[in-house]
Amino acid sequence: MLNRLQNNSSLDIQIVETDFPSVREVDLKLIELGQQLDAVIVTNDFNLNKVSQLRGVSVLNINELANALKPVVLPGEAMRVFILKEGKEYNQGVAYLDDGTMVVVDNARRLIGKNADIAVTSVLQTTAGKMIFGRLWEEAENGGHNEIHRTNGSSRRQTRDSRTAPGPVRITDTEAITET
Protein backbone atom coordinates (compact mmCIF):
# COMPACT_ATOMS: atom_id res chain seq x y z
CA MET A 1 0.00 0.00 0.00
CA LEU A 2 2.83 2.38 0.86
CA ASN A 3 4.39 1.76 -2.58
CA ARG A 4 1.09 2.59 -4.28
CA LEU A 5 0.84 5.83 -2.31
CA GLN A 6 4.46 6.76 -3.06
CA ASN A 7 3.98 6.08 -6.79
CA ASN A 8 0.89 8.31 -6.95
CA SER A 9 2.16 11.54 -8.52
CA SER A 10 -0.73 13.61 -7.16
CA LEU A 11 0.30 12.88 -3.55
CA ASP A 12 3.22 14.37 -1.66
CA ILE A 13 4.47 11.44 0.43
CA GLN A 14 7.28 11.94 2.91
CA ILE A 15 8.83 9.34 5.17
CA VAL A 16 9.69 11.10 8.40
CA GLU A 17 12.05 9.51 10.89
CA THR A 18 11.67 12.16 13.56
CA ASP A 19 11.75 10.67 17.04
CA PHE A 20 10.69 12.11 20.35
CA PRO A 21 12.98 10.41 22.90
CA SER A 22 11.26 12.08 25.83
CA VAL A 23 7.91 10.52 24.80
CA ARG A 24 7.62 6.79 25.50
CA GLU A 25 4.21 5.78 24.10
CA VAL A 26 3.87 5.25 20.35
CA ASP A 27 0.44 6.96 20.20
CA LEU A 28 1.81 10.05 21.91
CA LYS A 29 4.77 10.10 19.48
CA LEU A 30 2.30 10.10 16.57
CA ILE A 31 0.36 12.95 18.16
CA GLU A 32 3.56 14.96 18.73
CA LEU A 33 4.55 14.42 15.09
CA GLY A 34 1.05 15.38 13.95
CA GLN A 35 1.30 18.62 15.93
CA GLN A 36 4.79 19.38 14.63
CA LEU A 37 3.84 18.80 10.97
CA ASP A 38 0.28 20.17 11.28
CA ALA A 39 -0.81 16.82 9.85
CA VAL A 40 -3.98 14.74 10.00
CA ILE A 41 -3.74 11.35 11.70
CA VAL A 42 -5.59 8.57 9.85
CA THR A 43 -6.49 5.73 12.20
CA ASN A 44 -9.03 3.15 13.26
CA ASP A 45 -7.73 3.21 16.85
CA PHE A 46 -10.45 4.61 19.11
CA ASN A 47 -8.09 5.73 21.89
CA LEU A 48 -5.63 7.40 19.51
CA ASN A 49 -8.57 9.20 17.95
CA LYS A 50 -9.81 10.57 21.28
CA VAL A 51 -6.39 11.58 22.63
CA SER A 52 -5.49 13.27 19.32
CA GLN A 53 -8.70 15.30 19.41
CA LEU A 54 -8.03 16.32 23.01
CA ARG A 55 -4.56 17.52 22.00
CA GLY A 56 -5.87 19.48 19.02
CA VAL A 57 -4.59 17.20 16.25
CA SER A 58 -6.98 16.52 13.38
CA VAL A 59 -8.03 12.89 12.97
CA LEU A 60 -9.71 10.90 10.21
CA ASN A 61 -11.25 7.82 11.80
CA ILE A 62 -11.48 5.07 9.18
CA ASN A 63 -14.38 3.36 10.97
CA GLU A 64 -16.42 6.58 11.01
CA LEU A 65 -15.61 7.12 7.33
CA ALA A 66 -16.76 3.59 6.46
CA ASN A 67 -20.01 4.07 8.40
CA ALA A 68 -20.64 7.40 6.69
CA LEU A 69 -20.27 5.75 3.28
CA LYS A 70 -22.75 2.96 4.01
CA PRO A 71 -26.01 3.46 2.16
CA VAL A 72 -29.07 4.58 4.10
CA VAL A 73 -31.92 2.09 3.78
CA LEU A 74 -35.48 3.20 4.53
CA PRO A 75 -38.68 1.20 5.07
CA GLY A 76 -40.57 0.83 1.81
CA GLU A 77 -37.43 0.88 -0.31
CA ALA A 78 -36.93 -1.87 -2.87
CA MET A 79 -33.69 -3.82 -3.13
CA ARG A 80 -32.42 -7.00 -4.76
CA VAL A 81 -30.59 -9.46 -2.51
CA PHE A 82 -29.11 -12.94 -2.86
CA ILE A 83 -30.78 -15.28 -0.35
CA LEU A 84 -27.88 -17.22 1.15
CA LYS A 85 -29.34 -19.32 3.97
CA GLU A 86 -32.43 -19.93 6.06
CA GLY A 87 -33.28 -17.67 8.98
CA LYS A 88 -34.02 -18.49 12.61
CA GLU A 89 -37.79 -18.06 12.29
CA TYR A 90 -40.11 -20.19 10.16
CA ASN A 91 -39.72 -19.69 6.39
CA GLN A 92 -37.19 -16.82 6.62
CA GLY A 93 -34.31 -16.36 4.24
CA VAL A 94 -31.13 -14.46 5.07
CA ALA A 95 -29.00 -12.35 2.76
CA TYR A 96 -26.02 -10.06 3.32
CA LEU A 97 -25.19 -6.73 1.76
CA ASP A 98 -21.65 -6.15 0.51
CA ASP A 99 -20.81 -4.31 3.75
CA GLY A 100 -21.85 -7.35 5.85
CA THR A 101 -25.27 -6.02 6.85
CA MET A 102 -27.68 -8.91 7.48
CA VAL A 103 -30.99 -8.84 5.61
CA VAL A 104 -33.78 -11.09 6.94
CA VAL A 105 -36.56 -11.76 4.42
CA ASP A 106 -39.95 -13.25 5.32
CA ASN A 107 -41.16 -16.21 3.24
CA ALA A 108 -37.86 -16.45 1.34
CA ARG A 109 -36.63 -19.87 2.48
CA ARG A 110 -37.67 -21.36 -0.87
CA LEU A 111 -35.39 -18.84 -2.61
CA ILE A 112 -32.11 -19.91 -0.98
CA GLY A 113 -29.44 -19.70 -3.66
CA LYS A 114 -31.43 -17.19 -5.74
CA ASN A 115 -31.83 -13.43 -6.09
CA ALA A 116 -34.98 -11.87 -4.71
CA ASP A 117 -36.55 -8.43 -5.02
CA ILE A 118 -37.66 -7.28 -1.59
CA ALA A 119 -39.36 -4.36 0.08
CA VAL A 120 -37.66 -3.18 3.25
CA THR A 121 -40.09 -3.28 6.19
CA SER A 122 -37.79 -2.14 9.00
CA VAL A 123 -34.20 -1.42 9.94
CA LEU A 124 -32.79 -2.30 13.36
CA GLN A 125 -29.55 -0.81 14.69
CA THR A 126 -27.84 -3.15 17.17
CA THR A 127 -24.49 -3.07 18.94
CA ALA A 128 -23.32 -5.69 16.44
CA GLY A 129 -24.37 -3.55 13.46
CA LYS A 130 -27.43 -2.88 11.37
CA MET A 131 -30.06 -5.48 10.44
CA ILE A 132 -32.57 -5.02 7.65
CA PHE A 133 -35.93 -6.80 7.59
CA GLY A 134 -38.02 -7.19 4.47
CA ARG A 135 -40.59 -9.17 2.60
CA LEU A 136 -40.67 -10.36 -0.97
CA TRP A 137 -41.64 -7.53 -3.32
CA GLU A 138 -44.63 -9.40 -4.79
CA GLU A 139 -46.05 -10.09 -1.33
CA ALA A 140 -45.53 -6.50 -0.21
CA GLU A 141 -47.19 -5.21 -3.38
CA ASN A 142 -50.11 -7.65 -3.30
CA GLY A 143 -50.60 -7.49 0.45
CA GLY A 144 -51.41 -3.78 0.36
CA HIS A 145 -48.31 -2.83 2.28
CA ASN A 146 -48.90 0.90 2.58
CA GLU A 147 -45.24 1.83 3.08
CA ILE A 148 -44.27 0.88 -0.48
CA HIS A 149 -43.48 4.05 -2.40
CA ARG A 150 -45.94 4.61 -5.23
CA THR A 151 -45.97 7.10 -8.06
CA ASN A 152 -49.05 7.66 -10.25
CA GLY A 153 -50.65 4.46 -8.96
CA SER A 154 -47.73 2.19 -9.83
CA SER A 155 -45.08 0.93 -7.46
CA ARG A 156 -41.64 2.45 -7.48
CA ARG A 157 -39.42 -0.38 -8.58
CA GLN A 158 -35.95 1.15 -8.44
CA THR A 159 -34.00 -1.60 -6.71
CA ARG A 160 -30.61 -1.42 -5.09
CA ASP A 161 -28.79 -4.50 -6.40
CA SER A 162 -26.78 -5.76 -3.45
CA ARG A 163 -25.73 -9.09 -4.93
CA THR A 164 -26.28 -10.08 -8.55
CA ALA A 165 -24.68 -13.49 -8.49
CA PRO A 166 -23.59 -15.99 -5.93
CA GLY A 167 -20.05 -15.31 -4.89
CA PRO A 168 -17.84 -15.43 -1.86
CA VAL A 169 -19.69 -13.98 1.10
CA ARG A 170 -18.08 -13.13 4.42
CA ILE A 171 -20.36 -14.18 7.23
CA THR A 172 -19.52 -12.68 10.60
CA ASP A 173 -22.71 -13.24 12.53
CA THR A 174 -21.43 -16.01 14.80
CA GLU A 175 -22.82 -14.31 17.90
CA ALA A 176 -26.50 -14.13 18.65
CA ILE A 177 -27.97 -10.67 18.31
CA THR A 178 -30.29 -9.66 21.08
CA GLU A 179 -32.50 -6.62 21.52
CA THR A 180 -32.28 -4.61 24.71
Q: What is the pLDDT of residue 129?
A: 77
pLDDT at 151: 37
Among 107, 106, 99, smallest CA distance to 163 is for 99
Check residue 176 and give its pLDDT: 44
| Domain boundary assignment for the chain | 2-68, 78-161
Question: What CATH number does the domain located at 78-161 have?
Answer: 2.40.50
pLDDT tens for each residue of the chain, 180 residues long: 778 888 888 888 888 889 999 999 999 999 999 999 999 999 999 899 999 999 999 999 888 887 777 778 899 999 999 999 999 999 999 999 988 899 999 999 999 999 999 999 999 987 777 899 999 988 877 764 444 444 334 444 445 555 443 333 333 444 444 444
- What pLDDT is attached to residue 160? 53
Pairing of strands 85-86, 93-96: antiparallel
Q: How many CB atoms lie within 10 A of CB 21?
A: 6
Per-residue pLDDT, 71: 77
Task: Please tell me the pTM assigned to this model.
Answer: 0.53
* C-beta contacts of 163-169 below 8 A and 24+ residues apart: 163/80, 163/81, 163/82, 163/95, 163/96, 163/97, 163/98, 163/115, 164/80, 164/82, 164/115, 165/82, 166/82, 166/113, 169/82, 169/84, 169/96
CATH number of this structure's domain 2-68 = 3.40.50.1010
